Amino acid sequence: MKPLLGTLYLLGILAPEGLGYDGSLAQTRRGVLEETVSPWRNLDTYSYTKYHPMEEIYQWMVQITEKYTGVVTQHFLGMTYETRPMYYLKISQPSANYKKIIWMDCGIHAREWIAPAFCQWFVKEILQNYKDNPRIGRLLRNLDFYVLPVLNIDGYIYTWTTDRLWRKSRSSHNNGTCFGTDLNRNFNVAWCSIGASKDCHHLTFCGTGPVSEPETKAVSSFVESKKESIVCFLTMHSYGQLILTPYGYTKNKSSNHEELIQVGQKAANALKKKHGTNYRVGSSADILYTTSGSSRDWARDIGIPFSYTFELRDNGTYGFILPASQIQATCEETMEAVLSVLDDVYEKYWDSDSAVKMTLTAMVLGLLVSFMSVL
């Protein structure tokens, strides 16, 4: 009996690995870790400190959704120019509460690999910690997270197959003589007025018209449809170590500019505490350069109050080709910054203290008014 059980036990351990074609088995067999795309990668062995090709990110989204059913759902957003599906993840804890939405997108520029890496890290952190971590748990009580891990999928794939430093999408122009639109110049806000080019050869090509690109259309249609609920729009880029507020298309400031700077500065301070990295905070036109048609400016102008562009590490030493060895530190510090913003957003709308104060004030005023009318 015992030897039989022992044999069955052994089989139980070996069988899943023996049957599944996954990375761990490949490592054992060949003795060398090869970076092959494995159709059956186990989520437990998924490395968040490596860069992943698009096929693996698609798989990861499916597996994350399966592992955390009830909290995560995957949704179709639209098709890219090269007819690839765009998916976002919705992280939402079921409750009777009316939720507001936090939107985060990564990889609108293909070569900024650290950004999609951060989106994946962010999702992982939220899901692994929302039950035990009160800070994250609190956020999920009233907020839903919508995360688009790779916006410019065609471009991202192109950086893996052909040109590591490609930036734009892969749409064809001028009878196939030039390719790609800068998706972050294609949104319908002061389109192509400044800081963008009408020349399809240029890397800041704004497209053939506002929202001419299917990727831009997919994102803006969706965000527009949810704009009443979205309180925070975060778009992740690299490099430069900046937290940018609106606007790029003008030096004028948004109505809540002071608040955005304050929240942004607090986030930069939280980020710096983690690994000492310096981030600067300011409007795009002030501290970076002028741009028109950016998603951040567009989001602000359709009424989303907290709209930021994050430019992640580094400062130019490696630039876009940030070593994978820096993924962890970058993601950890960025996580602190994003959580800081989310805390401020949460406290603005749901802080129980301020809610009570507002109710009391309203009551007192109401009483005063009735007294006045009696006199």
Partner 1 sequence: MLPRRQRPPASGPWGPRPAVLLLAPLLLALQGVAAAPAGAGGPEDSPGLQDAEFPSGLLQQAARAALHFFNFRAGSPSALRVLAAVLEGRATVNPKKGCQVDLVFTTDHYNPEVGEEHLGKCSARVFFRNQKPRPAINVTCTRLIEKNKRQEEDYLLYKHMKQLKTPLDVISIPDSHGHIDPSLRPIWDLAFLGSSYVMWEKTTQFLHYYMAQISSVNQWKTSDDAIDFDYTVLLHEFSTQEIIPCRIHLVWYPGKPLKVNYHCQELQTPEEASGTEEGSAVAPTELNNF
How far is the C-alpha of 279 from the C-alpha of 24, rounded, in Å? 38
Instruction: Report CA-CA distances (Å) from 138 to 35, 129, 155, 343, 346.
Output: 38, 11, 36, 9, 9
Please, which of residues 13-42 interact with partner 1 by CB under 8 A?
Answer: none
Candidate residues 122, 191, 279, 346; the one interacting with partner 1 per rule CB under 8 A? 279
Distance of CA 75 to the CA centre of its chain: 15
In the set 112, 311, 333, 336, the catalytic residue is 311
How far is the C-alpha of 287 from the C-alpha of 126, rounded, in Å? 31
Please, which of residues 175-194 interact with partner 1 by CB under 8 A?
Answer: 182, 194
Please, which of residues 88-147 interact with partner 1 by CB under 8 A?
Answer: none
Candidate residues 74, 208, 265, 328; the one interacting with partner 1 per rule CB under 8 A? 265
Candidate residues 317, 352, 370, 373; the one interacting with partner 1 per rule CB under 8 A? 317
Residue 333 a catalytic site member: no
Nearer to partner 1, 130 or 240 (CB): 240
How far is the C-alpha of 335 from the C-alpha of 274, rounded, in Å? 10
Q: Which has the closest alpha carbon to 215: 375, 323, 107, 333?
A: 107
Nearer to partner 1, 27 or 359 (CB): 27
Nearer to partner 1, 195 or 305 (CB): 195
Candidate residues 119, 219, 263, 281; the one interacting with partner 1 per rule CB under 8 A? 281
Contact between 321 and partner 1 by CB under 8 A: the answer reads yes
Residue 9 CB burial class (10 angstroms; 0-12, 13-18, ≥19): exposed
Q: Which has the closest alpha carbon to 100: 203, 193, 231, 257?
A: 231
Single out the segment in contact with partner 1 by CB under 8 A; choices: 21-29, 91-99, 138-146, 202-210.
202-210
Candidate residues 280, 302, 332, 348; the one interacting with partner 1 per rule CB under 8 A? 280
Candidate residues 289, 357, 361, 362; the one interacting with partner 1 per rule CB under 8 A? 289
Helices and strands, number each (H, E), in the chain: 12, 10
Helix segments in the chain, DSSP class H:
2-19, 23-30, 54-67, 114-129, 134-142, 153-161, 214-225, 257-275, 284-287, 295-301, 327-350, 352-374
How far is the C-alpha of 57 from the C-alpha of 52, rounded, in Å? 6
Single out the segment in contact with partner 1 by CB under 8 A; choices: 16-24, 84-92, 137-145, 284-292.
284-292
Contact between 245 and partner 1 by CB under 8 A: the answer reads no
The first and second tokens of residue 240, run together, are 């430069």
Contact between 324 and partner 1 by CB under 8 A: the answer reads yes
Q: Catalytic residue positions?
A: 311
Site for partner 1, rule CB under 8 A: 50-51, 159-160, 164-165, 167, 182, 194-195, 197, 199, 201-204, 251, 265, 268-269, 272, 278-282, 285-290, 315-326
